[in-house]
Amino acid sequence: MIMRKPLFSGSIVALITPMKNGEINFDEIQKLVEFHISAGTHAIVSVGTTGESTTLSIDENVKVIRKTVEFAAGCIPIIAGTGSNATSEAIVMTKLLSDSGVAGCLSVVPYYNKPTQEGMYQHYKAIAECTDLPQILYNVPSRTGSDLKPETVGRLADIPNIVAIKEATGDLSRLPLIKQYAGEDFIFLSGDDSTGLESMKLGGQGVISVTNNLAAVDMAKMCELALAGQFEEAEKINQRLMGLHTNLFVEGNPMPVKWAAYKMGLISEPSLRLPLTVLSEQYQPLITAQLEKAGLL
């Protein structure tokens, strides 16, 4: 098969990591990869936040990413989640994947330890200098406790293999600022499903999406329409999915999306690693209703 899209644009799925009794289910990872290839998804992020990277060991992270690349067989780009709040650990992860065939790395802002802007700059600079792989910055202050400012993104954009940002604040005013500081060629990917289409209207190149785990065909179509400037048609799809965009975060990601994938029959059980637990019973009817509204049940 032929790769259908340029790297780092369009509908990129933040892939869940299927588990059975808390252990990684590689057979179901293969099925999900095949599902996304058939659906027209433009790239896969393997073991990002939605893939439960923080509760997988380094060895497990690397194995899942390598197996995902193997299952993709060149049909779809695989982006590796390689972030850590320890720079040394992020470098180890990145180096372990240097020969894996991944298209690039997604590296989250260091979480919990709250570095300064200079600390974040030096963190990403050190990672980028250890590899030739393209690097995507990932800013999600609601999870990390730190906010990578547009000015710092601009400094980082001067490093040749730092080529993109996943901006998950949902703040659309960030996009023109990042383009101003980092340049028009710097790739802006929304990490917020509910404002993803709006960011593309403003010149963003795509969405790294949780909803895409469920509505892969629709998300691919929506992004293709948006990239072609057909925003009215894209908006019709987006509105039908908006209930998922917003309600897949009623509890900590990926608890709702894993339960929804289980409800759709995409995975055999909604198993997660502690401290995450199965979606609370009180929210299950809500997610079922949103799947029905989106035409997925």
Supply the residues annotated as catalytic: 138, 166
Please tell me whether the peptide bond between 275 and the residue prior to it is cis, using omega within 30 degrees of 0.
Answer: yes
Residue 270 is encoded by which pair of tokens?
């909604």
Q: Cβ contacts of residue 241 below 8 Å, gap of 6+?
A: 193, 211, 215, 218, 219, 222, 294
Identify the three-state secondary structure at position 18: coil
Which residue type occupies 115? Answer: P
Residue 205 contacts residue 178 (beta carbons within 8 Å): no
| Residue closest to 188 by CA, chosen among 220, 165, 169 | 165
Question: Strand pairing of 19-20 and 23-24?
Answer: antiparallel
Helix H or strand E encompassing 284 = helix 284-293
Other Cβ atoms less than 10 A from the Cβ of 183: the count is 11
d(CA 296, CA 293): 8
Find the length of the chain: 297
Residue 11 contacts residue 45 (beta carbons within 8 Å): no
Which residue type occupies 79? Answer: I
- 237 is known to lie in a ligand binding site: no
80 forms bridges with which residues in the sheet?
46, 105
- 50 is known to lie in a ligand binding site: yes
- Which residues does the annotation place in the binding site? 50, 208
- Which residues does the annotation place in the binding site for pyruvate? 50, 208
